[in-house]
Amino acid sequence: MEQQIAKEKPAISFEYELFQDPDHLTTVVATLTPTSPWINPASLNFKYRIGRGPFGDVWLATHHQSADDYDEYHEVAVKMLHPLMEEDREKFLHKFEKLFFKFRRLCGVCWFHGISIIDGRICIAMKFYEGSVGDRVARLKGGKLQLFDVLRYGIELAKGISELHSLGLLVLNLKPSNILVDEHGQVVLGDFGIPFLLLGASLSNPNMAFRLGTPNYMAPEQWEPEVRGPISLETDSWGFGCCFVEMLTGSQSWFGSSIKEIYHSVVIKREKPPVPSGLPPAVENVINGCFEYDLRNRPSMEDIIRALERYTHYHYPIMVEVSRSVILKLSQFHPFHCSW
């Protein structure tokens, strides 16, 4: 499959006559939509690393795209995964290739440019977003977002997660730094389920052999899926709840604790992130439900969306109208229909 990268050619261009007025026809050269997610490694120019996570590094880069009718440079963020065994790498690439164009139809997930292999490591190029919810929380005095913003971000985030769930994927790595903010102020998922796609892979880091996620946001069953219950859609409900609470309080659950300490707190002692008091009852109930130890008792993403939207429709009708107007503007530029 890696040899396929070098074989990829620019999309075929074609000409057509554009009718502007009865006396003038203009010849336009257009390029077909790419039929493959593969990116030539030579078209990526890495600048510097902008992030590091449990599954790899994130780099700022430029992606050079050219054909007969255009020559463009796009600023991209490249997720470079840690090295995988060749067999595991092939499995991951096969899964990603099947999902690539489905990802591009999702409104609540980051925009993907494509995938490549550099020095044996999988590199996933995505649109570069200027900031994340985590960045915004860090910049605020006191680190707390207003309830209005938390509800809006929460609804958009839950819808993005639900979109991934519709593809049979789980995120498993929800955290504010992976909730990106686009140029319209809407939030999108910056992680499309990498931990889920890596399930069963032989990971180079021994600490990753028994967990897939970021410890502070992991549900009990993520630590020991064979003992605590299978990883499921409701596993992401726990991660959603952690993000929601952090947006409200500005504090990360179990901040400063070691991996072993978090494991002991979540799995052995069955501790839960504290949900701040004073929330509207409907919102408080659904967020508390996210932290049920038995995943069968947690709300689904649809349950979360209904609860948050029901409250905002009644108490923040202006937010609903603003969201609708933004989505209408987005639909003018987005090549696919968004159902939000």
Last residue in a domain, options 100, 126, 152: 126
Quick one: 221 and 243 in the same domain? yes
Q: Which of 266, 264, 260, 257 is nearest to 207 (CA)?
A: 260
Quick one: 210 and 293 in the same domain? yes
Could you report the per-residue pLDDT of 91-132, keeping only the tens digit for each?
999 999 999 999 999 999 999 999 999 999 999 999 999 899
Specify the range with the lowest mean pLDDT, choosing from 3-17, 24-38, 103-117. 3-17
Q: What is the pLDDT of residue 29?
A: 44
Encoded amino acid at 247, one letter: M
Distance CA(163)–CA(110), nearest Å, equals: 12
Question: Could you give the C-alpha distances from 296 to 20, 234, 272, 292, 314, in angstroms and in order?
Answer: 60, 7, 16, 8, 29
Radius of gyration of the chain (CA): 22
Task: Measure the CA dihedral 315/316/318/319, to 10°.
Answer: -160
Could you report the per-residue pLDDT of 277-296, keeping only the tens digit for each?
889 999 999 999 999 999 99
pLDDT classification of 224: cutoffs 50, 70, 90: confident
Residue 120 lies in a domain: yes
pLDDT classification of 25: cutoffs 50, 70, 90: low
Instruction: Give the pair of three-digit tokens for residue 80.
Output: 């470079």
Could you report the per-residue pLDDT of 44-99, keeping only the tens digit for each?
999 999 988 888 899 999 999 887 777 889 999 999 999 999 999 999 999 999 99
When divided into structural domains, the chain yields a total of 2
Quick one: 113 and 250 in the same domain? no
pLDDT at 323 over 80: no
Domain coverage including residue 64: 24-126
pLDDT at 187 over 70: yes
Q: Which of 218, 211, 237 is nearest to 292 (CA)?
A: 237
pLDDT classification of 207: cutoffs 50, 70, 90: low
